[in-house]
Structure 1
């Protein structure tokens, strides 16, 4: 152990300049690591969750550093390149690191303020295997319905309680409420398995004989055995399948549990959609799409960014899919960005049909628990290879980002206006690609002026796709000058004579008319 005191610079989710220096307790010196979350005291009585930004041995000169209260992670939840991305965003958009942290991390990974604790309602009162500190905390909680963290620390005369409380929470001895609670709560599901003593075939046959007088229980057991043979995990059946899908009553299942024929377990379940059964469909490009694909492939070799100007219905998505396949074959991850309004079920299913379980979805309409699960999966050794999401997906951890698609790049919703950081996803994606050595593809039927200008000036590549898929013709568009109509006094209210004539002709053919108005 080093003889020098160790300090960390911590990013807090607050709109305050800079980072904050805290001293690391000796017991945590071997565990602190950049990118891990820590709980730290801030102000007189508040605790916050922060991210370790830097580790050093330089004490602050103007004040005495407080101690880190606890360490929340065994492994970093933020990669080093993400912190570099945060720093760039702070400088480029003139905001604070805390602003970026708030925008980047799902709220389920942020704990804030103070905590109230109580004894877990499922705690059976057993004192076996409890550490002395746990005994002290349990004794203190027995004197009150709730205790705040600082009140508890005073009673047990110990300052750094968070790790002990976390262990007691894992043991379901105490439960944390309100302010300093872990907002992410894993989804639980009930599973059933056959009792160990019934593994022998002879004993199972004996059970069948004893259940002849209980037909409902016999039916439940038979249905369980049938489902267990076809389940992904042999011998295990989810409650939803046994009771929900097959109509077995809870009473029959509970009877089997009481007779020690079935064993019930509660396990953590993912909220993410099971995509393993999806079919993988190939696509065949048209001659025009194939030509655009070749042009894009060559342009992406010479340029870091390329604009695909493809008219509506030209089949840009099929080209994206082909490019994604190439990058996946090279072991790269792909980020596919869409504005929230364009993140429809249709586009999600199209990607999932081609890439199945390789696709992860990430946007603001998901629950916070779902976003936390996606974030945590990206930290594993088997992350999603494709992320389809809105602008907030830029902040996700990537281990090998190789390609970013920004579809509908002209959309104003790629720009965040409030709160800070007031970033634009297009500019942020450009930096992210530069940082990761990835390629950026912008797609639009109506490109933004700046993207089209950069394409025409050869600052980025520019590829056109001017034919609609299947040879479908574009609609005929007529422009009507309302100034001329007003001068000729041929207007009727807000409608031009030309419009009224077309409506009359259409209705005369027994057809319908749609009128779009650009205001609510």
Structure 2
């Protein structure tokens, strides 16, 4: 190697606990954070440069970097440091962090879409090699070309190098041609020759036997007659929601209807100036000043504000202060759905300074936002990407001048990533991210986590409280309804107790809206044969199948396994197969029968699978196009509906009776959060909690909205039984497709761990679900007290697992480490 050769440590997007060293002979500038193509396991792979040095490895011969893909780093030093912390703290591989953090297009994964410029000067093409021209013209012939298609045709090494150069020349771009505030929507309209009321009327006579096609044409005819606009169009998704897709396709084939793409603006307000700052109440002003003052001495503040107390207005004022200093703000929400209303409120104030980032936006939009943030210039007062609103993955964005992180609904378990690795908690990681950027963190919740509230009380965080609703609106009245008594007296109306049924009737008569919360989707929770008690179970998971009546199917909510609902019991040939329990779908069916004149909406995973479906349902309910909203946890968090008078919690017992030390805390949080949807504008709302355990002391805390009372009870138990926040926990899940392998390996692992950590080790035990997706699993829990070095202990755990993997006779066992499990 020459004297100009230097060595580069890179991160590859694979579950490997190391960086890998390659040599580079110069020619182009290379710095940490740049993307390079390297040979890895005899295949080209895109990697991120972590370090550059002149120390040649002595134990192996280095390979050469194929190519450099960037002119400037795609990943910043602060991000690389953050990745290292995530990998170290959550005991995962830095390659897994890279894969979670970087958009597909930056990794040049096979799914990355390539857009091709058709306007390339002849002089530019003359400078290309034959291979460049071949790849360019091949790509030019495909308007929606995936990188994987080019790789298959030309090979990874050629494609990465040439595509990279063509990207730098502006000839190729990765999925980022559309601006963030636009989206292409499929539309349908009448073909031009039929865009006349009289012509359409004549053609409709030929469709009398095709009733669905006739209905679609009637939709156009009615709207043309009403509006006089012959070119009226509808979104394809809107038509598909009402009519069969085959009928639409038939009309398209006949040339009567045509399909086309239309770019729509998603941003309702694209103003670039800050305006309409909210006027704060005296309470809000007090809290706002307290938080500003606390930031002089504390890095983290907790805002404990009851539901509808106006926490968002305080956030907006703090964001405005941050923007005046030309700094960026990260506004974290636990659920994608919560962005629906919040993004409108933020955009009404900050316009296109607001960027949206979560898993439901396309890779094209993610890449666009990433590039804009890399180019962020604090000197440009009205530039984009100053306020980022997003779910947990937005902590990985390339912030340049971060001034504040807001974590709204900080108690939510949705901030915790469960699978795949890295299994990080975005709330806790955000506090570390703020430390890296030397900025502040504000946590907000009506029902803070026990850990956060404890940190505030011991002085680790600052604490501010809003204990009244905005404009002194009264909190809703919460009443208990005894399910057991109602069943005994045979006064139940389906799944409704007389108390809830009465409140719903009264609300509907007053033109008010209702929310019903049931934390299980589907029709019946499971089905059973009355004669032999047979219950169908998933073939791949240790769980009963849930009945979905709309699909006439039994579905596993863990792996997606599906079977048709049987009419005859396969065990005893009986026909008495019935549903047990009720999910949101069954409640919807019962309410439709009880209140036939009302319009219902259902908000759960089944009804929100399509893009923008959540937004559509929320908007309809917000605009009072429906009277009753039935949903799972999606309806409990952060939604603001001014006309809701009644909230029904259908089965509180299912929340309480869960084998987890956080069960009471989470039950309280859920019930209080969903209760907060009632009476937000004028007060006087009513919440009916249906339960068979009316004497449970937790309900007194819920009825009186007594978070402090709950905290006192829970913190006493946590300290006595060695749980967080007094003890730190690490869970180990031993997994294998053979149960006896899991048993043997878990026993060996627990034995070695006990030799090292003694009585801190609990288990192994089978969790509530002992098999998921054909993998049996056993759990081992380790607890570490205040005097223990958790970081040292985690490293020792890794070493023990690696030792056992290498020396055990049982092979192929996976051990999943979950730090700070939730």
Tell me the TM-score normalized by structure 2. 0.46
- Distance (whole Å) between structure 2 residues aligned to residue 299 and residue 172 of structure 1: 48
Q: 1:343·1:389 contact (CA, 8 Å) conserved in 2?
A: no
| Paired position in structure 2 for 1:303 | 298
Is structure 2 residue 36 aligned with structure 1 residue 41? Answer: no
Alignment check: 8 A CA contact 1:332 1:401 kept: yes
Moved more, 366-375 or 327-336: 327-336
2:126 to 125, 130, 136: 130
Partner of 1:38, secondary structure, is strand
1:186 and 1:369 in contact (8 A); partners too: yes
Following superposition, the deviation at residue 466 of structure 1 comes to 1.2
User: Partners in 1 of 2:336 and 2:109 — Cα distance?
Assistant: 32
Q: Pick closer, same or farther for the CA change 1:287–1:102 going to 2, 3 Å.
A: same
Do the aligned partners of residues 168 and 508 (structure 1) sit closer, same or farther apart at CA in structure 2, a change above 3 Å counting? closer
Post-superposition CA distance 1:130-184 (Å, at most 9, x none): 34x71476589999x9998799799xxxx888545544677799x8xxxxxx753
- 8 Å CA contact 2:8–2:24 kept in 1: the answer is yes
Which stretch of structure 1 is more off in the superposition, 289-298 or 82-91? Answer: 289-298
Question: Cα–Cα, structure 1 residues 516 and 123, in superposed 2: closer, same or farther, change >3 Å?
Answer: closer
Q: Distance in 1 between matches of 2:271 and 2:456?
A: 40
Contact 2:132 2:162 in 1 (8 A): no
Q: 1:375: how far off?
A: 0.6
State the distance in 2 between where 1:141 and 1:386 align.
38
Map 1:403-482 onto structure 2 (within 5 A). Answer: 403-480=404-481
Equivalent in the alignment of 2:22 = 22
Which residue of the partner structure matches residue 271 of structure 2?
Answer: 276
CA distance in 1, matches of 2:164, 2:364: 19
Whole-Å Cα distance in 1 between the matches of residues 506 and 424 of structure 2? 51
The separation in 2 between residues aligned to 1:477 and 1:322, in whole angstroms, is: 32
Measure, in 2, the Cα distance between the counterparts of 1:141 and 1:361: 33
Aligned mate of 1:98, from 91, 95, 107: 95
Alignment-derived partner of residue 228 in structure 1: none
Residues 1:280 and 1:69: Cα distance change in structure 2 (over 3 Å): same
Give the equivalent residue in structure 1 for 2:65.
68
SS at match of 2:129: helix
Q: Contact 1:109/1:184 (CA < 8 Å) preserved in 2?
A: no
Aligned in 2, Cα 1:51/1:139: closer, same or farther, shift over 3 Å?
Answer: closer
Residues 321-372 of structure 1, C-alpha deviation per residue, up to 9 Å, x if partnerless?
A: 1111112222321111112245333211211111122211111111101111
The alpha-carbon distance between structure 1 residues 457 and 344, as it changes in their structure 2 partners (threshold 3 A), is same
Q: Please tell me the root mean square deviation across aligned C-alpha atoms, in Å.
A: 4.0
- Among 54, 58, 63, the alignment partner of 2:55 is 58
Residues 322 and 185 (structure 1 numbering): CA distance in 2 closer, same or farther, change over 3 Å? closer
Q: Determine if contact 1:70/1:161 at 8 Å carries over to the other structure.
A: no
- Tell me how far 1:5 sits from its aligned partner: 1.9
* Structure 2 unaligned residues grouped into runs of 5+: 142-147, 180-230, 232-262, 378-383, 521-582, 584-822
Matched, 1:367 2:362: yes
TM-score, normalised to structure 1, is 0.70
The alpha carbon displacement at 1:426 in A equals 0.8
Question: What displacement does 1:126 show?
Answer: 6.1
**Larger RCO, structures 1/2 (Cα 8 Å, 6+ apart):** 1
For residue 218 of structure 2, what is the aligned residue in structure 1?
none
TM-fit CA distance, 1:92: 0.4
1:187–1:271 Cα contact (<8 Å) kept: no
**Alpha-carbon distance change, 505 to 449 in structure 1, aligned in 2, over 3 angstroms:** closer
Q: 1:183 to 1:272 in 2, by over 3 A?
A: farther
User: Equivalents in 2 of 1:279, 1:333: separation in Å?
Assistant: 14
Structure 2 counterpart of 1:217: none
Say yes or no: does 1:348 pair with 2:349: no
**1:466-512: CA deviation from partner (whole Å, max 9, x where unpaired):** 111122111111235667x49x9557569999x41563476479568
The whole-number CA distance in structure 2 between the counterparts of 1:398 and 1:518 is 37
CA contact (8 A) 2:12 2:46 kept: yes
